[in-house]
Structure 1
Amino acid sequence: MIKTTIRTISLILAAAAATLLLTSSAEQERSSFTIHLIGDSTMAPKDLSGGNPERGWGMMFPNFLDDSVKVINYAHNGRSTKSFMTLGHWAKVEANLQKGDYLFIQFGHNDSKQSDTTRYAAAWGAYQDNLRHYIKVAREKGATPVLLTPVSRRWFKADTLDETCLEDYPQAMKQVAEQENVTLLDITKVTMDWLKSLGDTASREYFMWVAPGTVPAMPEGKTDNTHTNAKGARKVAGLVCSEIAKQLPEIARHFVYYDIVVAQDGTGDYFTVQEAIDACPDYSHEEITRILIRNGVYNEMVTIPHNKFRLHIIGESADSTVISCGKYARQMWPGRDFNVGTSGSAGFYIHSSYVTLENLTILNPAGEGKEIGQAVALFTNGDHLFFKNCRIIANQDTIYTYGRWNKEGGPCRNYFLNCYIEGTTDFIFGPSIAYFENCTIHSKKNSYVTAASTPEGQKYGYVFHNCRLTAAEGVDKVYLGRPWRPYANTVFIDCELGSHIHPDGWKSWPRELWPSGEGTAFYAEYGSYGPGASPDTRVKWSTQLTRKQAAEYTFEKVMHQDTDTKAWNPEDNR
């Protein structure tokens, strides 16, 4: 249902494109502004203690807007147009309103409570007067007022929605909008149409129908036909955006679309990354599922299974969106008498294909030492994997490019663009093809950067293009790589090498484990520069490429396989 909402809004936006072209240049230039939300519990933020599943649509609304739009949600449970002023909420809004901002006004549910004189405002009297006051002050501040009719209650009688559930308040608001020449978003109508399309039974899953014993905050359960859960709040926010697209193109041009949002503060669809992945459609070969992860440290192990294709997972910011899992090789499998090993030590597993991770930190904080062993941050076991603006941090064995063969029999391919990768020993290792472009590769101790295990006969392994190799203070003897298997293949093209890179460049593997790689591994450089670039001192069994040879290591050539029906453009993953 989330994806259906997004597709609907996208179609409406396309229809609004012509309107955008007619928008004045002044409106087009309004590149950043604040939307202030005032209203009642259907819009308001919620206390999430005890697992409370209730959400106001205003909590979800920012997920539909880009970073240039700030949303401040002042809405409060139980408030009417009258009590929002008398209890001091409006004074805070009035103090913060600025020229160029928007004020979204949505009341009606509590204005009708005649038995409560602190809240009651007659539809054709005080209610309209209060709306006019909000409009007047907003305009005096240079802000744009927008009226939103109330969200419909879910009142069904014999599977027929009671369309009188909000009394005269929607009509009274419409009259004010017309008289005051204010944009009106008819949320009553669109939510009623939505509820009628679902019917009584199907619509319950969007509202606060809580079974007994399922939520600590509500041990007896709850039946509430006014307030929405996260799914319902997301839907209502989407309907609000649909109406904005029709009438407020200057806001609609700031819309962004995510199928799923993860947020620890309850403003998303899920609290954890794994919940979001589990909710993605299975075997989606064509349609991309976009997941936004809000800032926070998510202490969890994440697995993308083989049946979850075409995921685009985007962090709110690379530094502050952190997925952290401190597994390590020497820890024991639960209930077993052996340890998890290197392959079992990862915090983030990708077993699927056509997956993009963007603006994320993937961290394994386990540390290192004999009692820890390897501790993998990222384990890749799929084809056409794209990592953009990511920070991948651990110690020994940070990235394990585990995948050997895709379903067509060709090698698995990974692309790392503008990433920061940090580790100690062999911290980029495995058999897959991986292309690193414009990345920073940071060594934390004297050891080895790569440990490729490229299969025999595979033309490409690891390629580093326009990368920068740096090191922690005091680190001064780091090798570009050593062959984990005899046919390891690693090439550096036009990379800046810090002074920590050993003059030999490369190191053979201890002979007692398997053939050292000397004479079988392919280790090469072209155009290396910086204090660590020393072509004349490199080990004799490595190669300095000619310009013609280096031309064979473009992204297009490295990633091409004869089984491909078309060239891979990583941006198509997104």
Structure 2
Amino acid sequence: MKKIHLFCVMLAVLFLSAFKSDRVITIFMIGDSTMANKTLDAGNLERGWGHVLGGYFTEDVRVDNHALNGRSSKSFIDEGHWDEVVSKIKPGDYVFIQFGHNDEKPKPDRHTDPGTTFDENLRKFVRETREKGGIPVLFNSVVRRNFGENPNAIAADDFRPEKADAVEEGDTLIDTHGKYLDSPRNVAKEMDVAFIDLNKATKELVESMGVEGSKKLFMWVPAGVSPACPKGRQDNTHFNIYGARQVAKLAVQAIEKQIPELGKYVRYYDFVVAKDGSGDFFTVQEAINAVPDFRKNKRTTILVRKGEYKERVIIPECKINISLIGEEGAVITDDNYASKKNIFGDEMSTSGSSTVYIYAPDFYAENITFANTAGRVGQAVACFVDGDRAYFKNCRFLGNQDTLYTYGKESRQYYENCYIEGTVDFIFGWSTALFKDCEIRSLGNGYVTAPSTDQGKPYGYVFWNCRLTADAEADKVYLSRPWRPYAQAVYIQCELGKHIVPEGWNNWGKASNEKTAFYAEYQSTGEGANPAARAPYSHQLTDISKYQPEKVLAGNDGWNPIQNGNALLTNIKR
């Protein structure tokens, strides 16, 4: 039962996504093992560059990778794989074509000759793609890491043996593809097709890294590192995760230059997190750990591809300037709660229950869902924010009691177009936080906020143009109650649903709080707006000049995320 609500949210996301499918461009990929998707079994570290390509595009582009290990242009056609791709191509889709590694092999079921049979197969791919309204793009083969004379270099593609003995190598990178590199170029020129010389790009990359450094790109795996090859592996053809990402990056850089209509969808991220192996990491925490400590004046961007990541994420104070960007349907979730016992038998506590902890300054999140699926078991935090200048855009915070913990006393936080849900005190804490154009949804009766603003602080919570909505069971909800005596909450031009009680505010059972807390509204609308019936210690504002967002968030450094987005403040000393 804990995950029912989260499941419904994910279902809604998928339902809405269905209406976008007719606008999505599909890149179909056909080729060999250097391009193909790989199994993730036993911690396999091998990746084809097509496996990771999707992390370099916006969600306007979908990668459908049909490349297969061991296939040549001939066997790909003969086995019916090309017919399967052709049946799916729609006008405006792209087909990326890269063969050669296996066309070189002497086996009759795979071999083709450059200038004749290889070229004719490439023409077939181009011609039939165009007949379906698709856009073909020809690539030549990526380089083999062949330093020195190696007569077995081509045949070695078919084998992935575990190796313990060192391979003797020379100093010069020697080509193994010969005229097979010319065929895609020649056919592209003949048929007026875009051609990307990925061999040249990868050759330059390998040479720049040198004999030893270039092993970092390929499946040179030491013994004992991967269960998939416990004795190690020395493979000069197939890429590891890092290598595949670097080759895909070279491909999209070429696409930007040569195919600008597709290049406009290219995006570059420092790290990609993906459950399907198409990224650098499988978990968000692994990506956070990889961020250099105190990386000043630059942002580290992390793409979180769609999927549910069940993990506890901690962003320590040293991991500054992180931008966490989610694809649609990216959810970070856990199910801890305050009264749950830890390994010592102690209760976790409210602070110890959170799914995500953000201690670092200048954190930015976009299109991420932060969820705690513990259910109605008391306090169970989805997101705990301590760092200063935290900015959340188009994010969702899912939970029940104590969903969003604005923890840092010196923290300023900005929430733009976000969705926050819960039952009791589901936005709470000490921070200065401004919510703009957000939906604040009550799942049951209770209190929307419980600020604990310190005495003397100019601001607590400020809501601008937000919508307060509710599930059917919620019919008695207060705008706020003071967790600490000097709590502050101000609602400006917000639409309040009928679930908001006429008195609006609650004193948490202490009359003394009425003298110290500051609760106010300005031009509330909706069925829950009732200024005449509000608690007498609350205020109806006539002047909101001091509550302009740039003033609320300015602090001593002039932080203005509305004007500057998530740009870095280069004048801040750290």
TM-score between both structures, scaled by the size of structure 2: 0.88
The equivalent position to 2:407 in structure 1, one of 402, 410, 423, is 402
1:94 is aligned, of 86, 91, 94, to 86
Q: Equivalent residue of 2:51, what SS?
A: helix
**Pairing 1:196-345 to 2, within 5 Å after superposition:** 196-317=207-328, 320-334=329-343, 336-345=344-353
The 3 A distance-change label for structure 1 pair 111 and 558 is: same
Structure 1: which 5+ residue stretches go unaligned? Answer: 1-29, 406-411
> Which of 539, 542, 545 matches 2:541?
545
Report the secondary structure of 2:62's partner residue: strand
Contact 1:510–1:516 (CA under 8 A) maintained in structure 2? no
CA distance, structure 2, for counterparts of residue 302 and residue 498 of structure 1: 34
1:241 shift after superposition = 1.4
What are the Cα deviations for residues 29-71 of structure 1, in whole angstroms up to 9, with x where unaligned? x986432211100001111111111111111222222233333
Q: Is the 8 A contact 1:483 1:516 kept in 2?
A: no
Q: Which residue of 2 aligns with 1:560?
A: 554
Partner AA of 2:533 in structure 1: T
1:192 maps to a residue whose letter is: K
Q: State the Cα deviation string for residues 89-115 of structure 1 (Å, max 9, x = none).
A: 11112222333333221111111111x
1:447 — aligned with what? 446
1:112 aligns with 2:121: no
| Whole-angstrom distance in 1 between the partners of 2:313 and 2:518 | 34
Contact 2:443 2:473 in 1 (8 A): no
Q: Is the 8 A contact 1:312 1:573 kept in 2?
A: no
How far is 1:337 from its partner? 4.3
1:153-211 deviation digits (Å, cap 9, x = unpaired): 11123553432222321133333333333332111111000000001211112211222
CA spacing shift, 1:377–1:98, aligned 2, 3 Å: closer
CA drift at 1:363: 0.7
| Alpha carbons 1:468, 1:497 under 8 Å: kept | yes
Task: Describe the shift of the 1:494–1:180 C-alpha distance in structure 2 as closer, same or farther (beyond 3 A).
Answer: closer
Note the C-alpha offset of 1:567: 4.2
Deviation at residue 349 of structure 1 after TM alignment: 0.5
Q: Which runs of 5+ in 2 are unaligned?
A: 1-21, 149-168, 569-574
Whether 1:464 and 2:463 are equivalent positions in the alignment is yes
Instruction: Give the alignment partner of residue 389 of structure 1, picking from 389, 394, 406.
Output: 394
Match of 2:152 in 1: none
Measure how far apart 1:441 and its partner are.
1.2
Q: Check the 8 A contact 1:159/1:199 in 2, yes or no.
A: no
Distance in structure 2 (CA, Å) of the matches to 1:516 and 1:375: 29
What is the distance in 2 between the residues matched to 1:445 and 1:342? 20
Partner of 1:16: none
What letter matches 1:425 in structure 2? Answer: V
**Deviation (angstroms), 1:240:** 0.9
For residues 441 and 217 of structure 2, the distance between their equivalents in structure 1, rounded to whole angstroms, comes to 48
- Answer whether contact 2:143 2:175 (CA < 8 A) is retained: no
Alignment coverage as a number of residue pairs? 526
Matched, 1:56 2:34: no
SS at match of 1:164: coil
- What residue is the counterpart of 1:376 in the other structure? 381
Shift of 1:380: 0.4
Shift, 1:479, TM fit? 1.2
Partner of 1:128: 119
Percent of aligned pairs with the same amino acid:
48
TM-score, normalized by length of structure 1? 0.88
1:170 aligns with 2:195: no
2:524 alignment partner AA: S
Kindly tell me: are residues 337 and 71 of structure 1, through their superposed partners in 2, closer, same or farther at Cα, counting changes over 3 Å? closer
What letter matches 2:551 in structure 1? Answer: K
Give the partner amino acid of 1:79: R
| 2:355 is the alignment partner of 1:363 | no
The change in CA–CA distance for 1:400 and 1:175 in structure 2 (over 3 A counts) is same
Tell me if the contact between 1:154 and 1:161 (Cα under 8 Å) persists in the aligned partners: no
User: How far apart are the structure 1 equivalents of 2:564 and 2:271?
Assistant: 21
Conserved 8 A contact 1:310-1:573: no
How far residue 344 of structure 1 moved from its aligned partner, in angstroms, is 0.9
For residues 486 and 185 of structure 1, the distance between their equivalents in structure 2, rounded to whole angstroms, comes to 66
Q: Deviations along 1:444-494, whole A, 9 cap, x unmatched?
A: 222111111101100100011111112221322111111111111111111
Distance 1:143 1:448 in 2: 55
Partner deviation per Cα, 1:401-457 (whole Å, 9 max, x = no partner): 11012xxxxxx1011111111111111111100001111111122211111110110
